[in-house]
Structure 1
Amino acid sequence: MTADTPIKGPTSIVNALREVVGEANVLTSLNEAAAYLTDWTRQFSSEALAVVRPGSTDEVAEVVRICSAHNIAVVPQGGRTGLCGGGVPVAGDPSVIVSLTRMNAIRSLDETGRTVVAEAGVVLETLQDAALTNGLIFPLMFGAKGSCTIGGNLSTNAGGSNVVRYGTTRELCLGIEAVMPDGSVINALTGLRKDNTGYDLKDLLIGAEGTLGIITAAVFKLFPAPSARATVFLSAASLESAIAVLNRLQDHTGGGVEAFEYMPQPAVDVIRKVFPDIRSPLENPAETGILVEVASSRPADAEEMEDGSIRLNSDVMELLADCMEEGLVLDVMVAQSEQQRNDLWRMRESILEAITESGPAYHLDISLPLAQIAPYVNEMDAQMAQLGFQPLTVGHLGDGNLHYALSAAEGRVWEELPLEGAKQKVFALLTRLNGSFSAEHGIGQSKLPVMAALKEQTQLAAMHAIKRALDPSNTMNPGKLLPPV
């Protein structure tokens, strides 16, 4: 089979798709489609009849109608940065991948109402830049901002580092435009903050991973751009102390904490091993390292003090000095320039790549009530060490989301470690402490077994009923999110 060999599939259907989106936007050779057929993790790959790249909502709707008429699965795809296999077909199902990257227009930006309407293919960083040009911010923030797309963010209800202040993608979204499984179009881009006119279809489709329809555009909240930021890396006495510092900072700044990122020393060590040019923020190891960012749009907080410092920085440091006197904080490094701030964030955003480069690992995306974070980490780290694992954990501690990765401890061989037994312990304690096994990365294909085992059965039954009602032929991204009945 050569690179120009057609993927597979009936010529008549492919021709019908070409009539809708144009020949150049229907990819049918393995060479053209290869990048669309495998997910970012390289764990999931499959075949498709074609990769279709519509340029408008009308074209998406017509593509869906054609696929529905021929009982062909539709697999929506964004920037291909997902970690759970949600954007590639399931083997065995005749599928058409619908890539939304051509739908990349920012349709409007309302400075008065502080909203923006963006199509699903808009790259997150592009949307952020557009808002900033108008003196506003779109605060969704994570490492893949330069390649992930808004549609994918909505599909998995993405979170990131700023959730503690601004919420997840769901909380930032005021309305959507979407193509349903039968090809009909929902247009709810009014941007209203209050609209009690029935079921909230927006929230039903957000986080549904394309299993109920394809979101083609959305209207989002924007916020005033901060006039001052304080970025700090601190060493807390313990995880319990870190949570106490978070609450003290929130009280002291009127809820100004934008990020509160957990970066313990083992994670920092792995980052520095893979990226030697990244310097450790503190001279002494920080067993409970925390990257903190506080921001304010109040002009008074941006005023320069007599000592040359910015008022917001002085206020934050004043509180942290009190925390040091009380033994909650052991050491502090304050970013004195934008370069130092960028260096701290580069360190934080390098962790996934660093762990991936360091060898085999099992990644968990979990969330817990804040009061249970310390008990979970303390108990689980001890259990995993006994089994021969080295936990490499980072997390959005401000909202209780941990990325808990298991790697082989020094001197241990990954293939010889009892991973299944470790997973049982991880999920047993998580369930006991009322946590979630999927915080912000979605379910996709990779978490279906866990979904089947741990999700409350009555909730699964309700989800299946919704799926059957809206997509009776099961053509919208089948084999994702919902485990088989």
Structure 2
Amino acid sequence: MNDYKNKITSLNLKSKPIFDIEDHLKYTKDWRGQYIGDAIAILKPHDKYEVSKILKFANDNEISIVPQGGNTSLCGGATPLKNSFSIIISTEKMNNIISIDKESMTITLEPGVILSIIHEQVEKNDLFFPLSLGAKGSCTIGGNLSTNAGGINVLKYGNTRDLCLGLEVVLPNGDIMNLLKILKKDNTGYDLKNIFIGAEGTLGIITAATMKLFPKPKLSITSFVETLSIKNAIKLLNLFEQELKNELEAFELMPKVFWEVASNNTENLSLPFNKMPEMGVLLELTTTSTNDTLLNNEGTTFLHEKLEHLLSKALDEELIEDAIICKNDLERNKLWEIRENAAENEKKELINSHAKKCLKHDISLPINNIEKFHQETQKMISTKIKNTRTIFFGHLGDGNLHYNIFGNGKGDDGFENQSQNITENLYKIIEKLNGSFSAEHGIGQLKKDNLRFFKDPVAYDLMKNIKYMIDPKNIMNPGKILI
């Protein structure tokens, strides 16, 4: 081991290697506390050349590499394996915004830039970067790209993949591939950047990216509505999509059980209504049109008028029971904070309820199959075990639900024994309904067995062949995605 320490030290990196791994759990333990791995060193390169030097060394010596950004993965994708001979490469020192181009509306930046910092810097230039998720204060753009992160604005702007114009990647042998173009049209063969987006660091390390920016919205209006069922929430979504051009930016499902968890784990929580909503939807309209910001005869903006018209129509059609429109940014931010704290509140709920385990599922479905999925899954769970709680919520506008099942926390209720069986049957229901068992969190260590089972076998073999061609020694994040 000392021989490897000496070799790693001799790489002469700007930041000293960390070898006392036991004192740095934040790098070897995942956010949920489900995985704790081992590593021989933690390295913090400052640029692509240092990344190249490290990867060439690791490849020559067949040492595994675990790329890590903010370490916010919910699937163990950025955590080393137990008893592994690995080097963790943290991108935290590669945190420079290289350029913001207002004419081409692009940003080029290094992988360690935190998402909320991107928002702040882009906004200073009167532009908008739409990727937004609960972990925005700690997740990095490199991790967002490596997991093809989604978030609350996918409905209008797409996933991280849709926002990316170009990448710079260091390959396992240390070669640096530069695809950092700001072109929106480039038909020069295979679109290689997309192989690395969503690959979770199993093919190389992203060292820079060029991302799309958008005009900063001139006005945003947020509303929370109560409806009685998923079916009515979907009808409401259809109404908004039919009546609006491109103003609908977010459409989040927040049912009663979501609010119960939020209430249990948030001090002085203010409910939108006097009671828990049976089925709630948090929606947001935005516009870049000056006309929509003009005041009508009643003194409200035309965008506000559009929203009021649609909510009135929804009431007439009995799609909703009640609705509020946020009067100011304070009200708006409070609602979005509740939504964005969902994962943290669930984490607290698991501890406070003494539930032994929570089965977390990040799924996507054709929107017209979501209610059927919920009904079939609840029926399936009831045949396996009693007294569970299903806490679900998510991005209804793009068909992505976070569907999490809690044990009852009252001794040995058999939940642990049935958990794998429940998840397997849940995934079979998803497969039958033409959905996906991984919508935006990735595969990591958690779902690699499921991927092999549910992925088209030809596609799975092709993925393995691509992995072997690019990384024949399997040094890049082994044990993630593929078996």
Residue correspondences, number? 474
Displacement of 1:306 after TM fit? 3.2
Q: 2:7 aligns with which of 13, 16, 40?
A: 13
The equivalent residue for 1:402 is 401
CA distance in 2, matches of 1:212, 1:416: 37
CA distance in 1, matches of 2:242, 2:191: 33
Displacement of 1:87 after TM fit? 0.8
Q: 1:198 aligns with which of 177, 189, 194?
A: 189
Displacement of 1:479 after TM fit? 0.7
Q: 1:26 aligns with which of 17, 20, 28?
A: 17
Instruction: Please give the per-residue CA displacement for 1:243-271, whole angstroms capped at 9, x wherever unaligned.
Output: 22112212322021111001100111111
Displacement of 1:229 after TM fit? 1.2
Displacement of 1:419 after TM fit? 2.0
CA distance in 1, matches of 2:271, 2:30: 32
The equivalent residue for 1:449 is 449
With 406-415 and 269-278 compared, the bigger mean Cα shift is at: 406-415
With 191-200 and 401-410 compared, the bigger mean Cα shift is at: 401-410
CA distance in 2, matches of 1:107, 1:253: 37
The equivalent residue for 1:37 is 28
Instruction: Please give the per-residue CA displacement for 1:145-180, whole angstroms capped at 9, x wherever unaligned.
Output: 011000000000000010000000000000000100
SS in 2 for 1:366: strand
With 398-407 and 424-433 compared, the bigger mean Cα shift is at: 424-433
Letter in 1 for 2:96: A
Contact 2:259 2:276 in 1 (8 A): no
Letter in 2 for 1:311: F
The equivalent residue for 2:60 is 69
SS in 2 for 1:204: helix
Q: In structure 2, do the counterparts of structure 1 residues 8 and 342 end up closer, same or farther at CA, with 3 Å as the change threshold?
A: farther
Contact 2:100 2:108 in 1 (8 A): yes
Contact 1:25 1:54 in 2 (8 A): no
Contact 2:231 2:371 in 1 (8 A): yes
With 159-168 and 270-279 compared, the bigger mean Cα shift is at: 270-279
CA distance in 2, matches of 1:38, 1:8: 24
Displacement of 1:11 after TM fit? 2.6
SS in 1 for 2:24: helix
SS in 1 for 2:136: helix
CA distance in 1, matches of 2:119, 2:265: 29
Contact 2:108 2:209 in 1 (8 A): yes
Q: 1:369 aligns with which of 366, 371, 394?
A: 366
SS in 2 for 1:25: coil
Task: Please say if 1:99 is aligned against 2:93.
Answer: no
Task: Please say if 1:268 is aligned against 2:259.
Answer: yes
Displacement of 1:32 after TM fit? 4.9
CA distance in 2, matches of 1:459, 1:68: 27
Contact 1:176 1:202 in 2 (8 A): yes
CA distance in 2, matches of 1:112, 1:152: 27
SS in 2 for 1:112: coil
Instruction: Please give the per-residue CA displacement for 1:405-464, whole angstroms capped at 9, x wherever unaligned.
Output: 001358685554632332233112111101101010011101112112222211110000
CA distance in 2, matches of 1:416, 1:210: 33
Q: In structure 2, do the counterparts of structure 1 residues 339 and 382 end up closer, same or farther at CA, with 3 Å as the change threshold?
A: farther
Q: In structure 2, do the counterparts of structure 1 residues 93 and 31 end up closer, same or farther at CA, with 3 Å as the change threshold?
A: closer
Task: Please say if 1:243 is aligned against 2:234.
Answer: yes
Give the alignment of 1:221-240 within 5 angstroms.
221-240=212-231
CA distance in 2, matches of 1:25, 1:141: 33
Contact 2:250 2:285 in 1 (8 A): yes
The equivalent residue for 1:122 is 113
Instruction: Please give the per-residue CA displacement for 1:34-81, whole angstroms capped at 9, x wherever unaligned.
Output: 321111111111221110000001111111111111111111100011
- Alignment identity in percent? 38
CA distance in 1, matches of 2:448, 2:415: 25
Contact 1:8 1:48 in 2 (8 A): no
Instruction: Please give the per-residue CA displacement for 1:270-325, whole angstroms capped at 9, x wherever unaligned.
Output: 11011131212122432221110111010111122333322212211111101110
CA distance in 2, matches of 1:37, 1:13: 22
Q: Is there any run of 5+ residues in structure 1 with no aligned partner, and where?
A: 1-6
Displacement of 1:89 after TM fit? 1.3
Q: 1:189 aligns with which of 180, 187, 196?
A: 180
With 145-154 and 421-430 compared, the bigger mean Cα shift is at: 421-430
Contact 1:237 1:327 in 2 (8 A): no
The equivalent residue for 1:315 is 306
Letter in 2 for 1:10: Y
Contact 1:77 1:87 in 2 (8 A): yes
Task: Please say if 1:178 is aligned against 2:163.
Answer: no
Displacement of 1:241 after TM fit? 1.8
SS in 2 for 1:329: coil
The TM-score normalised by the length of structure 1 is 0.94
SS in 1 for 2:251: strand
Letter in 1 for 2:322: D
CA distance in 2, matches of 1:421, 1:187: 45
The equivalent residue for 2:375 is 378
SS in 2 for 1:316: helix
Letter in 1 for 2:430: L
CA distance in 1, matches of 2:411, 2:65: 43
Q: 1:212 aligns with which of 203, 210, 233?
A: 203
Give the alignment of 1:352-367 within 5 angstroms.
352-359=343-350, 360-367=357-364
CA distance in 1, matches of 2:149, 2:290: 31
Displacement of 1:474 after TM fit? 0.5
Q: In structure 2, do the counterparts of structure 1 residues 304 and 8 end up closer, same or farther at CA, with 3 Å as the change threshold?
A: farther
Contact 1:232 1:333 in 2 (8 A): yes
Task: Please say if 1:112 is aligned against 2:112.
Answer: no
With 291-300 and 238-247 compared, the bigger mean Cα shift is at: 238-247
RMSD over equivalenced CA pairs, Å: 1.7
Q: Is there any run of 5+ residues in structure 2 with no aligned partner, and where?
A: 351-356
Displacement of 1:385 after TM fit? 4.5
Displacement of 1:129 after TM fit? 1.0
The TM-score normalised by the length of structure 2 is 0.95
With 243-252 and 434-443 compared, the bigger mean Cα shift is at: 243-252
Contact 1:9 1:49 in 2 (8 A): no
Contact 1:384 1:391 in 2 (8 A): no
The equivalent residue for 2:353 is none
Contact 1:74 1:95 in 2 (8 A): yes
Q: Which runs of 4+ in 1 moved over 6 A?
A: none
Instruction: Please give the per-residue CA displacement for 1:325-383, whole angstroms capped at 9, x wherever unaligned.
Output: 01111110111110100110111112212221112311000000111111111222343
SS in 2 for 1:85: coil
CA distance in 1, matches of 2:268, 2:147: 33
